[in-house]
Amino acid sequence: MIVAKGIPVSEGIAISRIFKYYPRAGIEIPQECKASEKEVEKLSKALEEYKKYLNELLNVVEESERDLLQAYVLIAETFVSEARELVENSNVCGELAIKQVLDKYVELMEQSSSELFALRKSDLTDIALALVELLRGGRVSGDVVGVKDRIVVAEELTPTVFFRIQRAGVKGIITATGGITSHVAILARTYGIPYVILPSLDMTSIGDDVIAIVDGFDGKVVINPSNELMEEYMKKVRILNELRDVLKKYAFEKAKTLDGYEVEVLCNIGNVEEGRVASTQGCEGIGLFRVEYLYMSSRPPAEEVLVNTFTKVANFFEGKPVVIRAPDLGADKPPPFISIREDNPLLGLRGIRFLLEYRNEVLKPFLRGFLKAYAQSKNLRLMIPMVIKPSEVYEFIDVMNDVAQELGISYVKDLELGIMVETPAAAVLIDKFAKIPQLKFVSFGTNDLTQYVLAVDRTNPRLVRMYNELEPSVLRVIVRGVNEARKHGLKVEICGELASKSIAIPILLAFGFRSLSINPRYTGAIKYIIKNTRVQQFEQLLDAILNADEPSVVEELVIKTLQGYNADSRPLLLFSKYRS
């Protein structure tokens, strides 16, 4: 049995035999060649045949996906019309002409910085190679016979290949490369086909026909699973099939507990594209926008890029909150443009410490961008990472006021400012932070908080079993912080991974959280749990939870209680094994 962890792209679980898909073998194109007399005619004929091929696909794909294939038609037309000119003007053969046109556009594509250029190099290559095959009198290749009910394993897939394997009845997909926002990823989600990207995938090491499990929830791939694991997954699949449609529906409903508490479900995102997707998945706003990605290049982002990025996401969620977290640079995300050498970066210059240290290089430009965006979009809010005491927040506010003055803006006093509670220090000082007039909310960042409370590095593979957010020590720190925050009138949110874990939801609600910021993929499941929770029942359980000896005891308590009042606990069965 081999278990590998990858990136979950499309939810669902597939259990089946593997089908290794190899794209058409690289086609050799001559460096030099002369056009025949009928070269132009041959090009036109190849285009006609390719369009016929696409039209056949057009008849079987869903209405909403037709535009993509129409785009292929338009691209093929562009390729052939420019290739025709090349044939006529420089007398090269059609194949080489197509290749030259392809190269030109691949280069153009690489120069285009827009993250929206969702058509990839692989799309263009796919079209060009198909045209070359047709020019040579062949057929569009890529054998998908035998894909039915199998898990396709490939280096990369193009949308046309996806449509063909989908039509042939594919069960699940594993690829080595690709992106969560690529076309194939979107298509896999649309058609409900479980899909995991496995960067470590070595196709030669996997035999054809072996049994595999694709777990699109956890991003797990299991090759040759044990009987035990197979049974566990079969059970999950049964529950899943029942639940799939239910969860989809719940994602778009208001989340209210059985005893009538309304809960706000926000989402966490890490770039603009994720924001765009989140806005269509039932997220009621953004509780955490991680903007570090903007800083992962040779210089800090231009002001204009910052303004654009924040404004765009704010517009996706008009009238709903969008929390931008000031960049948490340092630790595991050192920016390439500043060199920091530290023996212990997790306890080093990061978060607010980094921002105050590099205030001219990073903090002030960030605040300029943020405040300019805020001028247009009043639903933006701002959160400060890694604080340990109020003086840091006061200093941050001073810098912000300076920047506001430079920009000549006065409305900065209306801005909702918050801190991320991710150090034990911040968690125990919330009453002090509450005295800062501008501070309106706190958001618990449970990932770092857990690692700091337990002194366990969550990336250390030897400590995996020790890192657990349900450790009663961690829960005690959180509950104490929540009580203080509510007592002092601060809004309380949580944006760590804990809020995306269904088993934790009843506990968090009993602690007093009424606003959760979660991974957008789980909106349906989390809202479903909320709607099946009777908060008062769990409030009575708080003592037992906070005095448990082990996280497993906490889990048992939650499951038993949910089952106790006959709530539908199927999602719990499905998600409770999140650590397995």
Q: Which 88-107 residues touch other proteins, going by CB under 8 A? A: 105
User: What's the rounded Cα separation, in Å, for the pair 56 and 77?
Assistant: 17
Q: Helix, strand or coil for residue 3?
A: strand
Least distance from C-beta 187 to other proteins, angstroms? Answer: 12
In the set 18, 46, 61, 68, which binds other proteins (CB under 8 A)? 68
Task: Choose, by CB under 8 A, the member of 42, 183, 359, 381 that binds other proteins.
Answer: 183
The 218-257 contact track toward other proteins, x by CB under 8 A, reads ----------------------------------------
- Spell 231-243 as b/e; 16+ CB within 10 A means b: eebeebbeebeeb
**What's the rounded Cα separation, in Å, for the pair 297 and 294?**
7
Q: Which residues in 358-372 are b (16+ Cβ under 10 Å) and which e?
A: bbeebbbbbbbbbbb
Question: Under rule CB under 8 A, which residues in 300-319 are in contact with other proteins?
Answer: 308, 311-312, 315-316
268: helix, strand or coil = strand
Q: Interface with other proteins by CB under 8 A: which range of 64-72, 399-407, 424-432, 557-565?
A: 64-72
Q: Which is nearer to other proteins, 129 or 541 (CB)?
A: 129
Of 33, 75, 346, 375, the residue at the interface with other proteins (CB under 8 A) is 75
Nearer to other proteins, 186 or 221 (CB): 186
Shortest Å distance, C-beta 118 to other proteins = 5
| Gap between the Cα atoms of 135 and 45, Å rounded | 8
Query: Kind of pairing, strands 286-290 and 322-325?
Result: parallel
In terms of DSSP bridges, do strands 439-444 and 417-421 run parallel, antiparallel, or are they unpaired?
A: parallel
Residue 531 phi/psi, 5° resolution?
-70, -15
Does 109 contact other proteins by CB under 8 A? Answer: yes
User: Which lies closer to other proteins via its Cβ, residue 67 or residue 343?
Assistant: 67
Residue 86, both tokens: 């090349």
- Rule CB under 8 A: choose which of 36, 90, 91, 112 binds other proteins: 112
70 in contact with other proteins (CB under 8 A): yes
**Binding of residue 58 to other proteins (CB under 8 A):** no
Quote the least distance from Cβ 65 to other proteins, whole Å.
9
Q: Which is nearer to other proteins, 63 or 202 (CB)?
A: 63
Residue 148 or residue 276: which is nearer to other proteins going by CB?
A: 276
Compute the C-alpha angle 220/226/229, nearest 5°: 55
Smallest gap from Cβ 288 to other proteins, in A, equals 22
Nearer to other proteins, 113 or 566 (CB): 113
- As measured in angstroms, the least distance from the Cβ of 570 to other proteins is 33
Is residue 421 a contact partner of residue 430, using CB atoms and an 8 Å limit? yes
Q: What count of other Cβ atoms lies within 10 Å of the Cβ of residue 182?
A: 23
**Cβ nearer to other proteins, comparing 89 with 114:** 114
CA geometry: angle at 406 spanning 404 and 409, to 5°? 40
Nearer to other proteins, 221 or 313 (CB): 313
Q: Pick from 36, 55, 78, 297: which binds other proteins (CB under 8 A)?
A: 78
- Angstrom distance (rounded) from CA 294 to CA 80: 38
Q: What span, in angstroms and rounded, lies between the C-alpha atoms of 472 and 511?
A: 13
- Cβ atoms 394, 436 nearer than 8 A: yes
531 binds other proteins (CB under 8 A): no
Of the candidate residues 74, 145, 339, 341, the single one contacting other proteins (CB under 8 A):
74
Is 112 or 459 the residue whose CB approaches other proteins more closely?
A: 112
Q: Which of residues 114-173 bind other proteins (CB under 8 A)?
A: 114-119, 124
**Residue 189, interface with other proteins (CB under 8 A)?**
no
Q: Which residues, listed in sequence order, are joined to residue 442 by a DSSP beta bridge?
A: 419, 492
The smaller minimum CB distance to other proteins, of residues 78 and 460, is found at 78
Alpha helices in 204-271 (DSSP H): 227-250
- Residue 143, burial from CB neighbour count under 10 angstroms (0-12, 13-18, 19+): exposed
Residues 6+ apart with CB under 8 A from 486: 492, 512
The residues of the shown chain that bind other proteins, judged by CB under 8 A, are 67-68, 70-71, 74-75, 78, 105, 108-109, 111-119, 124, 183, 276, 279, 308, 311-312, 315-316
